[in-house]
Structure 1
Amino acid sequence: MDLSNIGDLIGGLGLFLLGMQLMTNGLKRAAGQTLRKALEAATRSRMRGLISGTAITALVQSSSAVTVATIGFVNAGLLNLGQSIAVIYGCNIGTTMTGWLVATIGFNFKISAFALPMIGLGVVMSLVGGEKRYAYLGTSLTGFGLFFIGLSFLKNTFTGLENSIPFEAIGVTSYGLALFVLAGFVMTVLIQSSSAAMAITLSMASTGAIPLAAAGALVIGANLGTTSTAALSVIGATSNAKRIACAHVFFNLITGGVGLLLLIALADAINHSGINQTIDMVILLALFHTLFNVLGVLIMWPITTPMVEFLKARFSRGDEDLAKARYLDKNILETPSLAIDAMTRELSRVSRMASTLAKQAISAEISDSAHIRSQAQIINKLIVEIGKFNQKLAQQQLSEESSEILPSAMRIARYFNEMARLSGLIVDYSERFSQISDSNTQKDIYDLKKITTKMLDAAMIDDDSDISSSETRKVLHKLENKYQKIKQHVLDAMIAGRLSPDEGTDLLDSLSHIHRLGEQAEKSSRYWSSLSPIKHRSPVKERPEPDVMEPQDIREHSEEPGNERSETTTEAKKTERSSDEPVALN
């Protein structure tokens, strides 16, 4: 192989990979929500998961895209681990479609006769289509043409290679076959594409550069090489992603080992049978690739349940602690709809944590302050992670509707962060509450805490929550009335001498924190429906505009502790507006 052939190999491989990328991206964008809907069918049974994984991967020509979507569905609770593993099995079968494309079209037609017109037509469709579906189909068509042109270069590169390297002699022994498996593995790891490794193998086989058994060993090695992609993709990912990647590795290792044993047992017979002279060698390899993966599914299917139980017990330490985001996975960023679902689910989790912490702070003793502050720091860390995920998601190609969701998500996250901060402040006043001797004030404090707790329960967001804005507004109205009443009682007690000025000021501060805690919870529930698709959102009349305040929204107290005595309506309005503005999250 001279320098010219090496250049053709590199260029052909580059064209092939570029074509695969364009084809996959175009098909994914053109499919829209089809991939999501098809995966939803996998929720019914493992067999449906297997069929869905096979069909979708064959359609979009990307097992990684389907794997990422599957991880997103598992994180969102739409697929269980067993169903997702069945989808991964299907992905391995679906990837064999690349071999069939190469075998049936790539080497049986004059490529330039149809590849170049496909590229030209695809580019025109992309240029004139804008954001329409046929523009994405044009991108896919362009990639399809580049795919076959790259394949043509690869085939020409390996013509006559058998005269330079004695592959025939190497591939007849068990050690030789193991060497070819290693070569296929290394090749896939280096180029991070089992489809490209498969194309190189088929190109070599079509020119007779390697014997049939050696080519089969390369195919097994390429299958094993995809485990590196799975392993690299889950570094720093969620527990579910790691479990799915492990299942992928187990599948490929076990089936690869079985396939290699069968190949070693039959290698001599295959090499001396002359079968490659009567049957198209490339077709035979594509068939072997398919049968090999189907055999893997048949072997793994009976042991899937024990494997699921084994994996569920793994990757739970450190990755699933409270301070670690449970649903945010970098692998699903390229699928915005799934990424938004994951972020929404993480926010729902933080809502439960913040509400629980707030209720603990309201009823806590002063000795609980360290625990309360520790939990508040955990929530703060989660909010920071959500913010970073939000920023990365904003860098993707988003629809207008998805782009509008991101600011609302950060607004809600800011409310949860404020609830955690207030919880840390409230617990410091618990001793002050116990020292109040005035019975009327004690009863008012109890009532305010009770209404605030009711607000926290009403506004807490569950994964499938259907929060009624009108109900939370009613509770907020009661909370506001009670707060104004107790505030007046405290002021009267200070004037009458039942409370010292210092005691009264501290009490007003603490009551303001409790009152504001309820407000932040109500705001989070009010904006929650804006995270859903438009067709699922609450009616607009139940969701007040952010900058429009109803009469009961006009407060006399300031946002900052200690400023409750500001009595002007103008100052109250400024305060209310400032509460919705984002603050730095440390």
Structure 2
Amino acid sequence: MEFIGSLFGLIGGLGMFLYGMTVMSDGMQKAASSRMSKFLNLVTGNRVMAVVLGAAITALVQSSSATTVMVVGFVNAGILNLSQSVGIIMGANIGTTITAWMVSLTQVSSSSLAFLKPEFFAPLLVGVGAFRLLFGKKGKDDLVANFCIGVGFIFIGLEFMSDSVSPYADSPIFAKAFQVMGGNPILGILTGAVVTGIIQSSAASVSILQTLALSGAVPRAAGFYITLGQNIGTCVTAMLSSTGASRTAKRAAVIHLLFNVTGAILFGAIIFFLSLPMKSFFQGQLSPVEISLFHTIFNVSCTIVLFPFGDLLVNLSGTLVRESKQDKEDEENPNHYTEVEKNLIQHLDKRILESPAIAISATKAEVVNMARITAVNISHAMGILLEEKVEEIQEVYAREKIIDNMQKLLTDYLIHIGNLSLNENQKLEVTNMFNTITDVERAADHAENIAEQAQYAQDHDISFSEIGQDDLKKISNKVMESFEASIDAFENNDLDAVVRTAHLEDQVDEMEEDMRETHILRLSSGDCVPQAGVIFLDVISDLERISDHADNVAGYVKTMI
């Protein structure tokens, strides 16, 4: 029963630790992700800044795996290139050392100063965080509450694990196992890699090792080898994430693996040869602080040593990840998606959802792209009507089909974003994008209606009078100006463009009303044939509705400013 109780305590402690890491990283990521898109611009052509960014992001989200998965997504979406990703991957390994130092705090304070130990304050942190969540104004969006609860659970979980393992610290099984791993670098590294790969968290596996070290059960050589393996094991998440991604994204995951494997081989060889003349040191007991120190030295040293060889890693990844037959077949036999839709699917990579702010930014860029395509279709449809180029009408229909598909793809992706942990501003932005997509698609429907009217006029040999054509040109130009202004407003959160769109929409309304009245007068006087009159009235109605949708889009932007 005692063994079962200890096992339950170990599992429960690990569960609380992982849950605490998740809650804390979610809160930190919320705070950081809104600035992450700005930070990404700094890494362009500057690998040093990329390393700093990778370390900072990982320190905030407390997971090098999460950072690397995001990098794979960014590369797949075309936000980063492989050269830029190398620096962020290197930095991610440095940032992950923060967790190990947090765990080491449990040993820093002496027993006489127990009240300074993190686990002493952990229950208080959980209580403060819980009360803020339950009774605070911000509710689930309270970042301080999430941070307090996360940190509290991390140290409570560590205490559970430590209490569960300590009775077995002197067990011959532990001693023998670590003795074997201490004398066999390959076995030690493999053990660390497998455990980390199964848990899919290097932070958790390092913490388990530190918990065992706290009980005095880990020799230095074995602990060092296991730590090297843990860095390799953390690559599993990124490798799994790259499945089904583009060849470039797979290469980013391979770069992560190459970096950690190379570092492990170098350090493993150094430790092995040093352990021969320094047996007493490497057979001595390893402390949690020494694990943190070694973890930090290893990752920082690997980055310094391998930094100049970043381009070599990129080239080597290209050799290892060759173009598959499927890639060649896709190029030779493209599927039913157009190039525009393929780019959209690639840019809205689900791995980017690890960072809501980046996902929102990428989606917004594609919504703008959809609106620009719609603007082209409106202009093209009017050109066909006025210039009687009906042979081009199929281009409008094809473009309309693309817009419809874009709406579906964007809506599906926004649903995924909506299910993420978002702050209030991000929730409003997602809602506004849902509405904007709907209005843009409806504006595109009106462009299709205009094209159909042009087809009808051609089939029935109907033409407009010179005055009618002039009126259609005037109102269509004004509508295009209004629609373009709404796109600018949406893209740049531009209040001046919002005001300009509203002003233009009022002008379109007045023009539509005046043209409708004067056209009816022309019909009455016989200056215009009835069939042409019906088409004219339908077209100006479609144009007025497009302007209304443009005004709606600008109105959504107004709520964000």
Shorter-chain TM-score bucket reads: 0.7 to 0.9
Amino acid aligned to 2:198: L
What residue number does 1:253 align with? Answer: 258
Separation in 1 of the partners of 2:88 and 2:427? 30
Equivalent residues in 2 for 1:531-550, closer than 5 Å: 532=560, 537=561
Task: Tell whether 2:458 aligns with 1:458.
Answer: no
What residue number does 1:100 align with? Answer: 101
What residue number does 2:11 align with? Answer: 10
Deviation sequence 1:172-197 (CA, Å, 0-9, x none)? 67xx4333333322222221211111
Separation in 1 of the partners of 2:148 and 2:214? 30
Q: 1:428 aligns with which of 435, 452, 459?
A: 452
Separation in 2 of the partners of 1:255 and 1:62? 15
Amino acid aligned to 1:322: V
Q: Secondary structure at the match of 1:185?
A: helix
Deviation sequence 1:255-301 (CA, Å, 0-9, x none)? 32342254146425416621135684544443332232223323442
Task: Tell whether 2:505 aligns with 1:505.
Answer: no
Separation in 2 of the partners of 1:427 and 1:157? 80
C-alpha contact 1:69 1:338 (8 A) present in aligned 2: no
Q: 1:414 aligns with which of 432, 438, 446?
A: 438
C-alpha contact 1:126 1:134 (8 A) present in aligned 2: yes
Separation in 2 of the partners of 1:454 and 1:21? 48
C-alpha contact 1:76 1:345 (8 A) present in aligned 2: no
CA-CA distance at 1:509 after TM superposition: 2.1
Task: Tell whether 2:370 aligns with 1:367.
Answer: no
C-alpha contact 1:18 1:146 (8 A) present in aligned 2: no
Separation in 2 of the partners of 1:347 and 1:123? 41
Task: Tell whether 2:465 aligns with 1:438.
Answer: yes
Equivalent residues in 2 for 1:178-189, closer than 5 Å: 178-189=186-197
C-alpha contact 1:112 1:149 (8 A) present in aligned 2: no
Separation in 1 of the partners of 2:440 and 2:346? 17
CA-CA distance at 1:427 after TM superposition: 1.7
Q: 1:516 aligns with which of 525, 545, 550?
A: 545
TM-score, normalisation: structure 1: 0.74
CA-CA distance at 1:149 after TM superposition: 0.9
TM-score, normalisation: structure 2: 0.77
What residue number does 1:575 align with? Answer: none
Separation in 2 of the partners of 1:171 and 1:128? 46
Amino acid aligned to 2:372: R
> CA 1:34/1:280 → structure 2, altered by over 3 Å: closer, same or farther?
farther
Bigger relative contact order, structure 1 or 2 (CA pairs below 8 A, ≥6 apart): 2
> CA 1:4/1:146 → structure 2, altered by over 3 Å: closer, same or farther?
closer
What residue number does 1:346 align with? Answer: 366
CA-CA distance at 1:417 after TM superposition: 0.8
> CA 1:221/1:159 → structure 2, altered by over 3 Å: closer, same or farther?
same
Separation in 2 of the partners of 1:287 and 1:264? 19
C-alpha contact 1:15 1:149 (8 A) present in aligned 2: no
Single out whichever of 495-504 and 409-418 deviates more from structure 2.
495-504
Task: Tell whether 2:297 aligns with 1:291.
Answer: yes
Q: 2:200 aligns with which of 189, 192, 200?
A: 192
CA-CA distance at 1:250 after TM superposition: 0.8
CA-CA distance at 1:326 after TM superposition: 5.6
Amino acid aligned to 1:216: F
C-alpha contact 2:104 2:292 (8 A) present in aligned 1: yes
What residue number does 1:358 align with? Answer: 378
Task: Tell whether 2:160 aligns with 1:159.
Answer: no
Separation in 2 of the partners of 1:252 and 1:37? 25
CA-CA distance at 1:158 after TM superposition: 5.3
Separation in 2 of the partners of 1:500 and 1:41? 59
> CA 1:281/1:133 → structure 2, altered by over 3 Å: closer, same or farther?
closer
C-alpha contact 2:72 2:252 (8 A) present in aligned 1: no
Amino acid aligned to 1:518: S
Amino acid aligned to 1:455: S
C-alpha contact 2:483 2:550 (8 A) present in aligned 1: yes
Q: Secondary structure at the match of 1:436?
A: coil
CA-CA distance at 1:66 after TM superposition: 5.1
Q: 2:405 aligns with which of 381, 390, 393?
A: 381
CA-CA distance at 1:328 after TM superposition: 3.9
Amino acid aligned to 1:352: R
Amino acid aligned to 2:88: V
Separation in 1 of the partners of 2:263 and 2:420? 41
Separation in 2 of the partners of 1:160 and 1:39? 49
What residue number does 1:322 align with? Answer: 340
> CA 1:186/1:369 → structure 2, altered by over 3 Å: closer, same or farther?
farther
C-alpha contact 1:213 1:270 (8 A) present in aligned 2: yes
Equivalent residues in 2 for 1:215-234, closer than 5 Å: 215-233=223-241
CA-CA distance at 1:224 after TM superposition: 1.8
Amino acid aligned to 2:15: G
Q: Secondary structure at the match of 2:340?
A: coil
Any unmatched runs of 5+ in structure 1? Answer: 538-586
> CA 1:246/1:526 → structure 2, altered by over 3 Å: closer, same or farther?
same
C-alpha contact 2:6 2:165 (8 A) present in aligned 1: no
Amino acid aligned to 1:471: R
C-alpha contact 1:355 1:460 (8 A) present in aligned 2: no
Q: Secondary structure at the match of 1:252?
A: helix
> CA 1:82/1:507 → structure 2, altered by over 3 Å: closer, same or farther?
same
> CA 1:224/1:245 → structure 2, altered by over 3 Å: closer, same or farther?
farther
Separation in 2 of the partners of 1:265 and 1:401? 51
C-alpha contact 1:88 1:248 (8 A) present in aligned 2: no
Deviation sequence 1:275-333 (CA, Å, 0-9, x none)? 1356845444433322322233234422445767988x999979994223565454555
Q: Secondary structure at the match of 1:468?
A: helix
What residue number does 1:124 align with? Answer: 127
Task: Tell whether 2:303 aligns with 1:274.
Answer: no
Any unmatched runs of 5+ in structure 2? Answer: none
Equivalent residues in 2 for 1:394-409, closer than 5 Å: 394-409=418-433
| RMSD over equivalenced CA pairs, Å | 4.3
Number of matched pairs = 525
Separation in 2 of the partners of 1:154 and 1:219? 22
Separation in 1 of the partners of 2:179 and 2:357? 53
Separation in 2 of the partners of 1:407 and 1:520? 16
Amino acid aligned to 1:105: T
Q: Secondary structure at the match of 2:234?
A: helix
> CA 1:368/1:184 → structure 2, altered by over 3 Å: closer, same or farther?
farther
Deviation sequence 1:168-221 (CA, Å, 0-9, x none)? 664367xx4333333322222221211111123334455565654443332222
C-alpha contact 1:8 1:157 (8 A) present in aligned 2: no
CA-CA distance at 1:436 after TM superposition: 0.9
Single out whichever of 202-211 and 12-21 deviates more from structure 2.
202-211
Single out whichever of 209-218 and 62-71 deviates more from structure 2.
62-71
Single out whichever of 316-325 and 401-410 deviates more from structure 2.
316-325
C-alpha contact 1:41 1:48 (8 A) present in aligned 2: no
Deviation sequence 1:492-525 (CA, Å, 0-9, x none)? 4544556554443234323322332233234323
Separation in 2 of the partners of 1:179 and 1:76? 38
